[in-house]
Chains A and B, each alone.
Chain A
Amino acid sequence: MKKVSILAIKYIVYGVMVAISIVPFYILFYLSVNSPSRSYFESMNLLPDWQFYNYMEAWKQSNIGLSIFNSIVITVGALVLLVLLASAAGYSIARFPNVFNRTVFIVLLLCMMIPAIIVTVPLYTLMKDIGGINSRWAMTLLQTSTMLPFAVFLYTSFIKSIPKEIEESAIIDGCTHFTAFWRVTFHFLKPVNSSVVILAGMRIWNNYDQAIFFLQDSSVRTIPLAVSAFFQKYGADWNLMAAASMIGLLPAVLLFLFFQKSFVKGITTGAIKG
């Protein structure tokens, strides 16, 4: 009996969590299928007009198919690089804190706190000089770099909490510390990798501040830029904007669904012991 009531309480809590989180999505959806005259609530009438035509219109007007492609190229590219560079750096910093590594860590940590707006003009000059304006490659590297401090910080902290012993057997087998990391330690970092992918991925996916400067051509626009095209000098096309946002949300949610699998109890537990 007690068990049942605990379970009931749990599900009530979950219900509340879900309800709180889902309301705004309902609003977004509501906007996305309404006719242009309904961009607010007149009454408790919560049923939209079911105007799914908005989606076609938004797709067509913003060319969001191309934007999704660009966003995916940039996000995936940056995430692959980020996981490789940051985990390697995190390992080196956590395990071998020599002067160089410690300096790198402190500099990264400090730079994370410097408002990035300071570098706007010099960064633009740099991007121009290396042909990085309107280039997906340049944007990919820039996004990797922007998320590096956070990712390195995350990896360093977690690697410190993983016992050194796990690499030792590999080293006895003739691996160097370097190869032991990629072959052994890296696999223990699955939940951390997922966190980095999910958290940094979301930031890169939504990046607007830098994209607006470096992706000005319509062929390289990302989703936030495509959505922002519905904001005009005076006013906005709310319904189309909402429809475009809903479309742009889908790949990001799929990414999350895929990576959140690693947050399952027991992956690392047994392994650390073994």
Chain B
Amino acid sequence: MIELTINGSPHKLDVAAEMPLLWALRDILKMTGSKYGCGMGLCGACTVHLDGEATRSCVLPVSAAVGRKITTIEGLSENGDHPVQKAWLDKKVAQCGYCQVGQIMSATSLLDKNDQPTDDDIDQAMGGNICRCGTYPRIRSAIHSAAKLYREAK
């Protein structure tokens, strides 16, 4: 049995220790917010927070997540009103939307540490997230406006 703490709740999973967290979330716990995109940590669609750090869940064995705090999109906010989610809606970032959960998780991890990111900081933090529809400029702009919301909330 693998014991995980996800979005503050304990979960017991009867899965192989090497099963990537992504498939445990999606197939076992039916939390499908985190997406599959590449299975190699190349695209960021599966990004979750592990102790606050943006982490690619498709290459993280569940055994490596034991005893650590996992946050997924399902636990990011109660009502979808996290500053990053608000900024995403305000800037109408999403096109197909498939990669956006991963983008949002990477962006929140950045802003939790740095609420005054430069364009370079953003490019750096978001470099692992691919968006095929092409929403990068809006993501950058949404992160700047979310940063403003972060600072105002202080």
**A and B form one complex:** no
